[in-house]
Amino acid sequence: MLANNLSNTGTAGFKADREFNGLFQDQLPVVDRAWTDFSQGVTVPNGNPLNLALSGKGFFALNTPTGTVYTRNGDFSLSKSNQLQTSEGYTLRNVLDNGKPITVDPSQSIDIAKDGTVQQGGQTIGQIEIDQVPSSEDVLSKLGNSYFALASGSPASAATQDTQVLQGSLEQSNVPAADAAVRLVSVMRQFEMMQKAMTIGSAMDKAAIQEVAKVG
């Protein structure tokens, strides 16, 4: 888990996984389960009109072959069909057209307002669907490193009014790189210490058996 967090410090919109410690056994904490930290990462402007960041708790809603998924990674591009999409080819859903993809004219500049409205030449051509989804591992399950899907039986998502779209910016991973590296090294050292302790314990048991045999 820590290694995966560290490897995704450069993944836009990545949400870190954390461990939930349960009871202690033999003076060591037992990892009961993992949970996702949905706190917002730092927003960095880069001037790319197809890069979008979200300020607030909403998610970009995307069309995929298996249904709607959600992401905070706003590193979008244009498909061969001139539709706004992710690097995997998932298209942004258009609120004004029942969730269909948003098609743009590549020869014109694209202006995206804070409410997700997409305009070209002063004309509105669509509105990006931004949904409010409960930030809980019981409701959202991770798909890869950038996407989330609603768990079976979860209530449907709803449009959010308190999340703003920031054009020309990207939300960075919420993993503190230095902290993740230190924790990973610490865990590796703990593992090495436990491994040595087990080796010493085994050697002591073997020596004790041999001594008992000599006494007998």
* pLDDT over 60 (residue 216): no
* pLDDT over 60 (residue 91): yes
* pLDDT over 90 (residue 118): yes
Instruction: Tell which residue, 88, 93, 127, 125, has the closest CA to residue 106.
Output: 125
**Are the C-beta atoms of 69 and 59 separated by less than 8 Å?**
no
DSSP state of 25: E
Q: How confident is the model at residue 159 (pLDDT cuts 50, 70, 90)?
A: confident
* pLDDT over 80 (residue 162): yes
Provide the H-helix boundaries in the chain.
2-7, 177-215
* pLDDT over 80 (residue 60): yes
Mean pLDDT of 105-112: 96
Among the residue ranges 15-19, 35-39, 201-205, 209-213, the one predicted with the least confidence is 209-213
Read off the pTM.
0.78
